[in-house]
Chains A and B, each alone.
Chain A
């Protein structure tokens, strides 16, 4: 599957794939748009017993910086990002950064469920 990999240069996050690059925004802005440096996912009592989940209380703290700099993304998401401008501000942050953060949080919230 063709995917875009994250790259950070001087604190700026970009998604790079196959000779193509799209800038997402500064890592700090991404973290701000996600709403903090950690994002907590909760699992119910059965789910938390899955062997791959290293959590006792059902809470998995995702380090946002780590995750956005390692999670690869689909070309569809990159296309969507391109539709939004990096220079227009929305809620005090670049619009594209906010859209990226929305999609990122969406992925975390679904906890792996398929996209509807």
Chain B
């Protein structure tokens, strides 16, 4: 049995196994390969799809807005900084118009973008990562671990979601966007975890997982290398869905006034606009529409992106688009079904 650690000593065992070959890779090659696999290919694939491309552009726009705020490239919102209820696209100093107290709407939207993005990210990451951990561990380990985890998630699923969030929101008054994101998706993971679990259950039986077990690969490594990549498309889609859920939930809760008003915010703006007659007078209509479009736009961008995620993780799409030789295997359209 070979216990040698360097190439020299282990080479004496079986000559062909350690013969030096042309496959030597330099550091540069490696960096290039890394770039190719983790940056170039995903970008090419994402970009090749119209919907994903649009999604990326939309989300890019929001990131840009966040950057504008962080670097202070646009004025901060304050009352009476402009004429009251200025309609949009009339005065290019205030392109989106103003509120009834003379606040620049664009400044309002930009000002709360970083907050919203952080909250959405926190909600999505919390919900999906917890669901992935719970679902994979419970599905892969099985037995008592599974029973315990399933009972806990059953408990969480049994609690009605919205009332719980409202109670927590009132009790904690979360002002930190990250905490807020977590509170909003506090029991979102349970349902997702269960569906991940059932997917993991079938992957666990796959021959390649058994092969890894036979080699003595540790359970965490099997989960990371063999199980996770196969549920990644599903997880990414659900990450986006959870993020979208976070926006809608936050806006809803701000709107009904359960969450603390920390300055302005899309939901708060919407609320103000509504209570000050945005629905009934055409003069204030833009005040209502602008935050709505901001919300819907972000959700739409996320949805578009999620549709492309599936492709990024699909090895068949990857190879096709990065111009590698395609499968030499059975040709789909010849329906040579079940030759063996």
Contacts and interface: CB of A to CB of B under 8 A. Distances in A.
Assess A/B contact in the complex (Cβ within 8 A). Answer: yes
Interface of A: 44-46, 89-92
B154 A44 contact: no
A105 B154 CA distance: 22
Contacts of A92: 157-158
A92 B161 CA distance: 13
Contact of B157 (A44, A45, A91): A91
B158 A44 contact: no
Contacts of A91: 154, 157, 194
B337 A89 contact: no
A51 B77 CA distance: 72
A10 B337 CA distance: 47
Interface residues of B, number: 6
| Nearest 3 A/B pairs, CB to CB | A90-B154, A91-B157, A44-B337
A46 B334 CA distance: 12
Given A91-B157, A91-B194, 4 more contacts: A45-B335, A90-B154, A91-B154, A92-B157
Interface string B175-201: 000000000000000000010000000
B337 A46 contact: yes
Interface in B290-340: 335, 337
A89 B158 CA distance: 9
A44 B335 CA distance: 10
Nearest to B153: A91
A89 B154 CA distance: 8
Q: Is the interface of A mostly helix, strand, loop or mixed?
A: loop
Interface in B144-174: 154, 157-158
B72 to A, nearest CB: 49
Interface string B90-117: 0000000000000000000000000000
Contacts of B154: 89-91
A44 B338 CA distance: 12
B163 to A, nearest CB: 16
Contacts of B157: 91-92
A45 B335 CA distance: 9
13 contacts: A44-B335, A44-B337, A45-B335, A46-B335, A46-B337, A89-B154, A89-B158, A90-B154, A91-B154, A91-B157, A91-B194, A92-B157, A92-B158
Contacts of B194: 91
B202 to A, nearest CB: 12
Nearest to A91: B157
A45 B334 CA distance: 12
Contacts of A45: 335
A95 to B, nearest CB: 10
A92 B191 CA distance: 11
Nearest to A89: B158
A66 to B, nearest CB: 27
A72 B138 CA distance: 33
Contacts of B337: 44, 46
A114 to B, nearest CB: 15
Nearest to B157: A91
A46 B337 CA distance: 10
A44 B336 CA distance: 12
A109 B248 CA distance: 36
B35 to A, nearest CB: 41
